[in-house]
Structure 1
Amino acid sequence: MRQRPRRDSRGILDPGRLLRQVRFRRRLAAPALHAYVEHYWLIDWELTEPFEQRVVPHPAVNVVFHGQENGPETAEVAGPASELFAITLHGVGRASGVQFRPGGFRPFWRRPVAELTGRRRPLAGTGLPVPGPVCPGGDDDRCRRLDALLTGWGPAPDPLTAEATALVEEIRADRSILRVDDFARRHGVSTRRLQRLFLDHVGVGPKWVIRRYRLQEAIEQAAGGPLDWAGLATDLGYADQAHLVREFTAVTGISPAAYARSLS
């Protein structure tokens, strides 16, 4: 069982700037929820001018509670998204979020997660019970409220959820996984079954998951200093450097070279 949340910056564009502008923390959920929840994320900010943060989303569902000073708290469910996510923060505020493990929202939602892909829905419109304010108080208070909320939603254990979650985690951890048909053969299943399983439980197909994790790895490595982009493209399964550059630019809105320059 994990003792601490992961500390990588995968998906976060210019993570150093994020940490200079806001207080960003990750916390683990209660042990009974670890099978479903990757981590909670907590953000607090006091800004003198607007700050835009951009994120290349993971293949995961997030439930987000957002509170602006002296304003009402909002809550929404954000499904897996193929496009770059950008949010502009201003003034004084807080956000408390649940990042589910890929496939981990299915036992709460109890419907195909593909229904949420590319969509953001108010929590009140999903049929799930809506809590009182989550964001007030310290980190422990906020996490206890999230634990109570998810426990109250009563996730229904499902062996297919566990299978989908384990398969996605394998893709994330093993950069040698580059092709869906090879991955299916490794596990003795058909590509069609793999596709159905991913769409139902994760919300996107296995090819999308592979490409997204490899692109996130390229983004994270770009933040670490100068890169051999041609060699990285080969390592991550792209046909050539030009293919990596096109996908990086299409998703992030900026070329790899320009992104690396912006960080320095």
Structure 2
Amino acid sequence: MAGQRGPRRDTRGIVDAPELFAHVQFRRREPAPALRPYLEHYWLIDWDLPQPYASHLVPHPSVNLVFERYPGCGDEEAGYAEVSGIGLELFTQKLEARGRVCGVQFRPGGFRPFAPGAPVSRWTGRRLPVAEVFAPPAPASAVLDPADEDERVAALDAYLLALGPGPDPRAERAMALVDLVRTDRTVLRVDALARAEGVSVRSLQRLFAAYVGVGPKWVILRYRIHEALERAGSDPAVDWAGLAADLGYSDQAHLVRDFTATIGVPPTALTAP
């Protein structure tokens, strides 16, 4: 099965990544080998802030399992665990005082084998207590309590392995298709993707709803915005007209419109000195 690779090293989806990293300790860790076909990575964040800080994220087309402990989050002593479906809008999180989050980012298409009883679209745009999705519920304190980071990773491994994800050819196909959209810039239209796979557009949409949680058109657009955001953060002199053409937009105005609708500000707000 595909997916045998280390954690991503890019910052795609993070709005102003340098600012975030100046306020928190952020790490990605690799899960146990048996889990790697289904997971992107674990992501660990710790902070101790004298002043509140708001982080902003353009979500990936991924479901996350999140263990968290910070002021105002459920039981601050025991911690809290939730399943976070694909976020459709810009995600903003206020961080203050001290906190810790240990997250599991599933590969797009990789969550369904852990929760086969429902289409992944059921969780899209929702954040639910883990007990409403998995049985038994995840032990938040077991993941959050250890001071040693390796122990936290081991606790995540143990819980997910106990859920026993099984092989699912449709999940594998969905993961492969999303990987293709993410890595191949020539994939710009749903009908072209469907033709390349030898299926109807409707069949492709049904597969994505059941295993990814959003439609293929949404995935294509979201990865375009991630690319534009990454460029805006790394190159103040980015050629927006050229980037629009690279990403398959008819003109720069359409890219700016989608970017502004997703991020909340135009691209120039992120590249201004």
**TM-score class normalised by the smaller sequence:** over 0.9
Instruction: Determine whether 1:149 maps to 2:159.
Output: yes
Instruction: Determine whether 1:260 maps to 2:271.
Output: yes
For residue 228 of structure 2, the aligned residue among 206, 210, 218 is: 218
Matched with 1:106 is 112
For residue 12 of structure 2, the aligned residue among 7, 10, 25 is: 10
Aligned alpha-carbon RMSD (Å): 1.3
Once the two structures are TM-superposed, the CA of residue 43 in structure 1 deviates from its matched residue by 0.4
Structure 2 unaligned regions, length at least 5: none
The code of the aligned residue for 2:112 comes to R
Instruction: Determine whether 1:126 maps to 2:136.
Output: no
Once the two structures are TM-superposed, the CA of residue 108 in structure 1 deviates from its matched residue by 0.9
Matched with 1:44 is 46
Contact 2:120 2:210 in 1 (8 A): yes
Q: Report the Cα distance in structure 1 between the residues aligned to 2:153 and 2:186, rounded to whole angstroms.
A: 36
Q: Report the Cα distance in structure 2 between the residues aligned to 1:159 and 1:117, rounded to whole angstroms.
A: 22
Q: Report the Cα distance in structure 2 between the residues aligned to 1:80 and 1:193, rounded to whole angstroms.
A: 21
Deviations 1:151-197 (A, max 9, x none): 11111221000000011011101111100111111121111111100
Q: Which has the higher mean CA deviation after the structures are superposed, 150-159 or 38-47?
A: 150-159
Q: Which has the higher mean CA deviation after the structures are superposed, 188-197 or 54-63?
A: 188-197
Instruction: Determine whether 1:135 maps to 2:137.
Output: no
Helix, strand or coil at the partner of 2:234: coil
The code of the aligned residue for 2:122 comes to E
Matched with 2:68 is 66
Once the two structures are TM-superposed, the CA of residue 3 in structure 1 deviates from its matched residue by 5.2
The code of the aligned residue for 2:93 comes to I
Instruction: Determine whether 1:237 maps to 2:244.
Output: no
**Number of equivalenced pairs:** 262
Q: Report the Cα distance in structure 1 between the residues aligned to 2:35 and 2:4, rounded to whole angstroms.
A: 12
For residue 186 of structure 1, the aligned residue among 171, 196, 213 is: 196
Assess, with a 3 A threshold, how the Cα gap between structure 1 residues 33 and 232 changes in structure 2: closer, same or farther.
Answer: same
Identity over the aligned pairs, expressed in percent?
54
Structure 1 unaligned regions, length at least 5: none
Helix, strand or coil at the partner of 2:223: helix
The code of the aligned residue for 1:202 comes to V
Q: Report the Cα distance in structure 2 between the residues aligned to 1:143 and 1:201, rounded to whole angstroms.
A: 26
Q: Which has the higher mean CA deviation after the structures are superposed, 18-27 or 119-128?
A: 119-128
Contact 2:5 2:36 in 1 (8 A): no
TM-score with structure 2 setting the length: 0.93
Contact 2:65 2:84 in 1 (8 A): yes
Q: Report the Cα distance in structure 2 between the residues aligned to 1:128 and 1:252, rounded to whole angstroms.
A: 36
For residue 117 of structure 1, the aligned residue among 111, 124, 127 is: 124
Matched with 1:171 is 181
1:187-202 alignment runs, 5 A limit = 187-202=197-212
Q: Report the Cα distance in structure 2 between the residues aligned to 1:135 and 1:17, rounded to whole angstroms.
A: 25
